Amino acid sequence: MAIRPILYIPDPRLKQVTAPVTEITDETRALVKDMFETMYDAPGIGLAAPQIGVMQRIVVIDCAKRADDAEVAEGEEEISDPITLINPEITWVSEETRVYEEGCLSIPEYYEEVERPDRIRIRYMNLEGETIEREADGLLATCMQHEVDHLNGKLFIDYLSRLKRERITKKFEKAARRAAE
């Protein structure tokens, strides 16, 4: 088990389309364990493999409330609901949309409102190789769409105005140049 470094923009790997998983191996299982450990440590409620530099179509998610979540009442039991999505495909989206203030572990400390379909149907393979098709709504649907975007090299800032997007990317490009000096 290892906490892996999370890539920040403008790393070009975050803009690449990732490759489907063709076989679930011990290496895949070890990678998923590292992805969950990295996500919980961040902390986050989702993480896509390209965010740790692995260009495969793998996502981990856990949108359940945990004791460290401010909304969890004192004494409420700590719960978690880890979901592993291999080769996820969104097969249907609702016309109804929902606006959520999104952030991204690869674009730290920036939060902007993004409008996305409120309900989705998603098909994926789990770590046991079973094909799952399920519906999701609310925050889980937002998170799933955010993560599937990562697998296609798309970031939440791509939904913002060019002005807002460029203001954010310029800050990270400047920081990357300084780090390279």
Q: Which residues bind Zn ion (CB under 5 A)?
A: 104
> How near is the Cβ of 37 to ligand K2U at its closest, in Å?
14
Using CA atoms, how far apart are residues 72 and 67, in angstroms rounded to an integer?
6
The first and second tokens of residue 44, run together, are 């986050």
Binding partner of 88, given Zn ion, ligand K2U, none, CB within 5-8 angstroms per partner class: none
The first and second tokens of residue 47, run together, are 């993480």
Binding partner of 102, given ligand K2U, Zn ion, none, CB within 5-8 angstroms per partner class: ligand K2U
Can you give the binding site for ligand K2U, defined by CB under 6 A? Answer: 44-48, 100, 102-106, 142-143, 146-147, 150
3-class DSSP assignment, residue 118: coil
What is the secondary structure of 149-165 as a DSSP string? HHHTT--GGGGS-HHHH
Which residue out of 113, 128, 147, 181 is catalytically annotated? Answer: 147
Binding partner of 149, given ligand K2U, Zn ion, none, CB within 5-8 angstroms per partner class: none
CA distances to 25, 137, 159 from 7, rounded to whole Å, are 24, 28, 20
The first and second tokens of residue 115, run together, are 């409008």
Nearer to Zn ion, 25 or 152 (CB): 152
> How near is the Cβ of 18 to ligand K2U at its closest, in Å?
13
Nearer to ligand K2U, 61 or 181 (CB): 61
3-class DSSP assignment, residue 87: strand
Q: Give catalytic status of residue 147 as yes or no.
A: yes
Catalytic residues: 147
